Amino acid sequence: DVKVTQSSRYLVKRTGEKVFLECVQDMDHENMFWYRQDPGLGLRLIYFSYDVKMKEKGDIPEGYSVSREKKERFSLILESASTNQTSMYLCASSLRGQASNQPQHFGDGTRLSIL
């Protein structure tokens, strides 16, 4: 089974702090994704990566950056956390390729609160 592991289930940080959310997958997937989930808005894509050191902006990249130095690890960085970044953050991974039936596999999520 694919395992996607997010470093924290719950995290509380202060406004202005630099925050790192870590995600590791063990299935050698090329693609990795970061989403945020807010009530009534569903999942929105922040950034994704299709290879080491490669990244592309998703739908809501403002206020975030990412890092992918190793294939199995994808980090989401909040450079200067703000209260409107309080949310549930979900990491996912998938195989690269044109096969449309490849699902994304998700971690358990990190509930981040910015005070």
Query: Which residues here bind another protein, judged by CB under 8 A?
Result: 9, 31, 35, 40-45, 48, 50, 56, 58, 88, 90, 92, 94, 96-98, 100-109, 111
Closest approach of another protein to the CB of residue 34, in Å: 12
Considering beta carbons, is residue 25 or 31 the nearer one to another protein?
31
Residue type, 102: Q
CA quadruple 93, 21, 71, 56: dihedral, nearest 10: 70
- Taking the CB of residue 1, how many other CB atoms lie within 10 A of it? 5
Closest approach of another protein to the CB of residue 69, in Å: 20
Closest approach of another protein to the CB of residue 43, in Å: 4
Closest approach of another protein to the CB of residue 109, in Å: 4
Q: Spell out the long-range contacts of 68-72 with Cβ–Cβ below 8 A and sequence spacing 24 or more.
A: 68/32, 71/28, 71/30, 72/24, 72/25, 72/26, 72/28
Considering beta carbons, is residue 35 or 74 the nearer one to another protein?
35
